Amino acid sequence: MHHIEIIIGSQMGSAEYVAEQLQEALEDQAIITTLHEQPVASELSQSIWLIVTSTYGAGDYPDNLIPFINELDQRDSLDQVYFAVVGLGDSSYDTFNYAAKNCEKLLINKGAKQLLPNLELNVLDEALPEETALAWLPKLIEKVTEAA
């Protein structure tokens, strides 16, 4: 049985809503999930992480994600972790999805294995972010199955 740790970085609630929609869809596929609104790296299983984060300010992490990122930065290795990142941002800013991109770089530098390229959601798109994320989800499920 697969278990996915869903890690939320949300300042205004949009990323949290997308994460909740993904959690519901994963559980409909009999995949066990745990949602982390105040993630603590030492409390997560070293398995599969789905990070759903917005970018705040001038390309910054949302406040609730900063302690988690700082904790990851102190780790020597995350080579037991498989991950995927969903970023929410506004493409009218030159720092579009920087939190997601920086999180991806950090995880790769620590040896974590990326399951899929980042899904970059643009709040200016016609499609709702959660609809785009749900359409992407079968690709993630396929990669999770292969990684197990």
Residue 122 has pLDDT above 90, yes or no: yes
- Which tens digit of pLDDT belongs to each residue from 28-55? 998 999 999 999 988 887 789 999 999 9
pLDDT of amino acid 42: 84
CA distance 69 to 51: 11
- Residue 107, CB half-sphere, CA atoms under 13 Å: how many? 27
pLDDT of amino acid 106: 97
pLDDT-derived band at 23 (thresholds 50, 70, 90) equals very high
Please tell me what DSSP assigns to residue 64: G
pLDDT of amino acid 148: 64
Domains and CATH numbers, the chain: 3-147 (3.40.50.360)
pLDDT of amino acid 38: 93
Residue 1 has pLDDT above 90, yes or no: no
pLDDT of amino acid 89: 92
Alpha carbon distance, N-terminus to C-terminus of the chain = 9
Highest mean pLDDT among 18-22, 56-60, 126-130: 18-22
CA distance 136 to 63: 26
Residue 82 has pLDDT above 90, yes or no: yes
The torsion defined by the Cα of 144, 30, 135 and 66, in degrees rounded to 10, comes to -70
**Average model confidence (pLDDT) across the chain:** 92
